[in-house]
Amino acid sequence: MTQPVPRPSGPAGLRALRALLRERTPLAAMQVVHRELGDVFQLPLPGFHPVVLVGPEAARFVLVEARGDLRWRNEPDPVTRLLRHGILVEDGDSHDDLRRLMSPSLHKQLLVDYVGTMWRAARQITQPWGTLAGVDMLVEMRRITLLILMETLFRVDFAPDMQRLWDPILTSIGYISPGLWVLWPGIPRPQYRAAIDRIDAYFLALIRARQAAMPTQDETPRDMLSLLIDAGLDDHLIRDQLLTMLIAGHDTSTALLAWSLYLLGSHPEALARARSEVAQALPDPNHFDAPCMDALNNLPYLGQVIKEALRLYPPIHMGSRVAAIDLEFKGYHIPAGERVVYSIYLTQRSPDHWPDPERFDPERHAPGQHPEAYAWLAFGGGPRNCIGAAFGQLEVKVVLAYLLSHFDLTLTYPHIHQHMGATLEPRPGVRMLARRL
Ligand code: HEM
């Protein structure tokens, strides 16, 4: 006998509402509901009533065991409307074919070639900071990650177009961020059209210019854009993949960099330790164009800080699916057509799986510590885990190593809250004073 998924009662709902107002994030409200109802519950909002699943067992269910019966694509969602047939919102063979096509550009063996681009992008964006600057790291990190993404995957120098496309990119991200459409799915949103059209025009021009310039003889290695063209995809399908990569591949690392800097800035002992580790591994940071992999591998503590930032503030804080058939999990009935969400955020802050879960403690990820499988799942899991997981972690490590080896950083405005946009972001930003060393 299965039972219906529990929903919060009136008093629990009120407690959740109070947490929402206090912490200024719906995630705090969901934490209250999770504490009261356990690992399976349903949000009772009008127009939006996902079944929320929490914990390693739930993650394994969604990501592995029942994955064939859970669809990614949800036609009315803005993310599907924006990315159209991008890999992120495709299912079945069409997804698998795209994944096979795009994986080689993000293969671990290729990453070593990207380190130079990552290092130089950090240098290029921080150059105008001079000797002393007050900067918002949320903004600055986006500039760096945009340069990196466009150069590594599409061999495009994005600097000349950055200013022109900045607002359209932020508007497109706003289009897929939670808003009124969550409660009112069909709400007209014409204000986003012009920005999305500008991005489409940019990508279509890029694709056509590359098609015109592509050499016929073998040129190795191919970047992702060339691989997509070689495979014979039509221009619009290529546009969908480029936009997917642009958004999934830079908004996440931007948030992760900003949160890592916020955590370092608010934990001086961790900052000092990370800095001294970087100073030892990269003793002469002005005298090379890219750190070597050996040096980067000598930054284990920085790696632990990044993992802990990903635990506390996972940029993608949940994965959303739609049940294709009636499902059962832990004795609960999930009817076909229901939205099912696995919560990365609640799992990674669950006291059942992490002692003292709200505390920032990079030691949790020290060598020899192995978190329970699926208790840390910042990159999802199973066959559709994050295709850019290795790329993103390397990128964040290289950029942080650059910043720590060139600047003394002080957090100047610590009062931030967790903003649920397309990614989980520190708002109003991460303001720091950067003093050049
Ligand atoms: C650095 C921080 C990043 C985080 C925390 C992150 C997180 C995630 C998560 C959790 C998923 C799975 C979502 C789900 O199960 O619903 C995912 C999928 C994906 N990510 Fe990332 N990601 C990051 C960086 C990147 C980068 C750098 C790229 C591309 C260069 C990328 C491209 C993608 C794509 C295309 C998918 C969909 C994969 C598929 O469906 O086969 N991500 N990411």
pLDDT score at 214: 74
CA of 381 to the centre of ligand 1 (A): 10
DSSP H helical ranges for 24-91: 26-37, 56-60, 78-83
Ligand 1 centroid to 234 CA: how many Å? 24
Per-residue pLDDT tens over the stretch 233-251: 999 999 999 999 999 999 9
- How many angstroms separate the alpha carbon of residue 130 from the centre of ligand 1? 34
Dihedral pair phi/psi, residue 272, rounded to 5°: -65, -40
Question: pLDDT band for position 127 (50/70/90)?
Answer: very high
Residue 84: its pLDDT value, please?
98
C-alpha distance from residue 177 to each of 79, 170, 278 (Å): 9, 10, 35
98 lines ligand 1 (CB under 6 A): no
- Confidence check: pLDDT of 263 > 90: yes
Q: How many CA atoms lie within 13 A of 328 on its CB side?
A: 5
Q: What would the two tokens of residue 366 be?
A: 């020290």
Coil, strand or helix at 51: strand
CB 400 within 8 A of CB 307: no
Containing H/E element for 406? helix 389-406
Ligand 1 contact via 86 beta carbon (within 6 Å): no
**Are 400 and 257 spatial neighbours (Cβ–Cβ below 8 Å)?**
yes
pLDDT bin (cut points 50, 70, 90) of residue 185 is: confident
CA nearest ligand 1 atom 11, residue: 386
Contacts of 8 (CB under 8 A, 6+ apart): 16, 33, 36, 37, 41, 44
* pLDDT over threshold 70, residue 370: yes
* pTM, entire model: 0.97
Which atom of ligand 1 is nearest the CA belonging to 72? 16
User: What is the rounded distance in angstroms from the CA atom of residue 348 to the CA atom of residue 342?
Assistant: 11
Ligand 1 centroid–CA 387 distance in Å is: 6
* Of 168, 191, 166, the residue nearest 179 (C-alpha): 191
- The amino acid at 350: S
Please name the residue whose Cα sits nearest to atom 6 of ligand 1: 379
Residue % of the chain over a pLDDT of 90? 88
pLDDT grade for 220, boundaries at 50, 70 and 90: low
The angle that helices 235-266 and 268-281 make with each other, rounded to 10 degrees, is 110
Q: Is the CB of 322 under 6 A from ligand 1?
A: no
Contacts of 41 (CB under 8 A, 6+ apart): 5, 6, 7, 8, 33, 34, 51, 52
**Predicted local confidence at residue 218, as pLDDT:** 61
Torsion from C-alpha of 170, 349, 428, 197, nearest 10 degrees: 10
> Ligand 1 centroid to 409 CA: how many Å?
29
Q: Is the peptide bond before 221 cis (omega within 30 degrees of 0)?
A: yes
* Stronger pLDDT, 6 or 222, i.e. the higher one: 6
> Atom 12 (ligand 1): residue with closest C-alpha?
380
Q: From the CA of 386, how far away is ligand 1's center (Å)? A: 4
**What is the CB neighbour count within 10 angstroms for residue 403?**
24
Torsion of CA 81, 83, 86, 91, to 10 degrees: -30
Average pLDDT of span 124-140 = 97
The closest residue, in CA terms, to atom 23 on ligand 1 is 252
**What is each CA distance from 122 to 51, 142, 289, 406, 410, in whole angstroms?**
41, 11, 11, 10, 18
Give the residue whose CA is nearest to atom 21 of ligand 1: 386
- What residue type is 20 in one-letter code? L
Give me the pLDDT at residue 215, please: 65
pLDDT digits (tens, 9 = 90+) for 63-85: 999 999 999 999 999 999 999 99
Cα 323 from Cα 345, distance rounded (Å): 21
From the alpha carbon of 392, which atom of ligand 1 is closest?
1
Q: Which of 72, 322, 386 to mutate to test the pocket of ligand 1 (most atoms within 8 A of CB)?
A: 386
Q: Which residues contact 102 (CB under 8 A, 6 or more apart)?
A: 87, 224, 227, 228, 241, 245, 387
**Residue with the larger pLDDT of the pair 217 and 222:** 222
Structure confidence at residue 351 (pLDDT): 96
Mean pLDDT across 253-275: 98
Q: What is the mean pLDDT of residues 285-291?
A: 88
Ligand 1 contacts CB of residue 87 (under 6 A): yes
Whose CA is closest to atom 7 on ligand 1?
379
Whether residue 221 is predicted with pLDDT greater than 70 in this model: the reply is no
CA 321 to ligand 1: nearest atom? 16
Enumerate domains of the chain plus CATH numbers: 1-71+317-377 (3.30.43.20), 91-308+392-437 (1.10.630.10)
In whole angstroms, give the CA distance from residue 276 to residue 272.
6
Q: How far does residue 95's CA lie from ligand 1's centre (Å)?
A: 14
Residues 143, 5 contacting (CB under 8 angstroms): no
**Atom of ligand 1 minimally distant from the CA of 95:** 41
With cut-offs at 50, 70 and 90, classify the pLDDT of residue 128: very high
For residue 106, the 8-state DSSP code is: G
Q: Ligand 1: which of 252, 348, 376, 398 to mutate, judged by most atoms within 8 Å of the beta carbon?
A: 252
Q: Sorting pLDDT into bands at 50, 70 and 90, what band is 13?
A: confident
Q: What is the mean pLDDT of the chain?
A: 95
The reply to whether ligand 1 has any atom less than 6 angstroms from the CB of 248 is: yes
Distances (CA, A) of 247 to 125, 149, 322, 339: 19, 10, 22, 23
Of all atoms in ligand 1, which is nearest to the CA of residue 245?
Answer: 29
From first CA to last CA, the distance across the chain in angstroms is: 66
> What's the pLDDT at 382?
96
Question: Does ligand 1 lie within 6 Å of residue 62's CB atom?
Answer: no
pLDDT-derived band at 309 (thresholds 50, 70, 90) equals very high
C-beta of 265 in contact with ligand 1 (< 6 A): no
From the CB of 99, is ligand 1 less than 6 Å away? yes
Q: Is the CB of 381 under 6 A from ligand 1?
A: no
Q: In this structure, are residues 260 and 428 in contact, taking their beta carbons and an 8 Å threshold? A: no
- Please compute the mean of the pLDDT values over residues 295-299 and round it to a whole number: 96
Cβ of 88 closer than 6 Å to ligand 1, yes or no, is yes
